[in-house]
Amino acid sequence: MTLFSAIFTSVFKRRDVKILLAFMVLPILGPALSGVSESQLDLDIYGNFLSFMTSSLDLQFQLVLPALIMGFIVSSVFQEEIATGILFLYKDINRKRILKAKLQSLYLVYALYWLGTVVVSMLVYLVYVVPKAGFHFLPTDNLTQLVLQNISNICLNLILITLIAAVSIKKKTLMAVLLGVLFNCVALTAPLLNGFRYVFPNTYPRLLDKIPFPVALAMSLGISLLYLALAYVKAHQNFKKIEF
């Protein structure tokens, strides 16, 4: 068994991961609670699959609770293993390899969470919406906005994971989790704040009426990669300093 597969297996067995994956069913709640009918169908959300999927993923991020749970998962992978001495078992392995394997395992958990949400969204769309409004995979007018919205959502979650990892290596779980929730809340409100909004990737889907899609995509990805790099460098520095 490789280092990555061993760490991923350990991460995936955690109870908090099961709780996080339970939020994949959130797309069911919208149509089920609203009692979607053809006359009440909100075409901005239910008019096509991509819009419905995007609204489901946005809802997960806006709830903050999944971010809170992800914070506990990330912190347990680092702080808990440092505090309990489990990392002593890896003392003969290069620390950079250990850090990369842990982060990749966490990224894979998020990928499974994202993919599961997409699958559930598709099933819900087929069962609740298609019989009433027909099947439409893509929108007719705001495709680039939805694509960029999904890209920025993924980037924010990857930044969140890496940021919490960097903090949890040195700080207690509560501090790391609270910082993750704070980042989540700031990211949600940033697009509404003039000036400050330009430093967050999820602002740029709202600016497509002012700037071309390639520029908005480049800005969103550039900011995301910068934050990811800074968080990873800090995590690497902190991880090198810990004593097993």
- In this prediction, residue 112 carries a pLDDT of 96
- In this prediction, residue 153 carries a pLDDT of 95
pLDDT at position 135 over 60: yes
- In this prediction, residue 80 carries a pLDDT of 75
Task: Give the dihedral sign, CA 167/172/109/113.
Answer: negative
pLDDT per residue as tens digits for the range 224-243: 999 999 999 999 998 888 77
- In this prediction, residue 219 carries a pLDDT of 96
- In this prediction, residue 93 carries a pLDDT of 80
3-state DSSP of the chain: CCHHHHHHHHHHCCHHHHHHHHHHHHHHHHHHHHCCCHHHCCHHHHCCHHHHHHHHHHHHHHHCHHHHHHHHHHHHHHHHHHHHCHHHHHCCCCHHHHHHHHHHHHHHHHHHHHHHHHHHHHHHHHHHHHHHHCCCCCCCCCHHHHHHHHHHHHHHHHHHHHHHHHHHCCCCHHHHHHHHHHHHHHHHHHHHCCCHHHHCHHHHHHHCCCCCHHHHHHHHHHHHHHHHHHHHHHHHHHHHHCCC
Domain boundaries, the chain: 3-241
* Rounded average pLDDT over 57-76: 89
Structure tokens at 17: 């991961």
Tell me which residue of 171, 174, 224 sits closest to 71, measured CA to CA: 174
Q: CA torsion 179→227→165→114, rounded to 10°?
A: 90
pLDDT category at 31 given cuts 50, 70, 90 is low
pLDDT at position 126 over 60: yes
pLDDT category at 2 given cuts 50, 70, 90 is confident
> 30 versus 141: which is more confidently predicted?
141
pLDDT category at 133 given cuts 50, 70, 90 is confident
Written as one letter, the residue type at 60 is Q
- In this prediction, residue 82 carries a pLDDT of 74
pLDDT at position 85 over 80: no
Quickly tell me which residue has 């990330």 as its tokens.
74
Residue 202: how many CB atoms within 10 A of its CB?
23
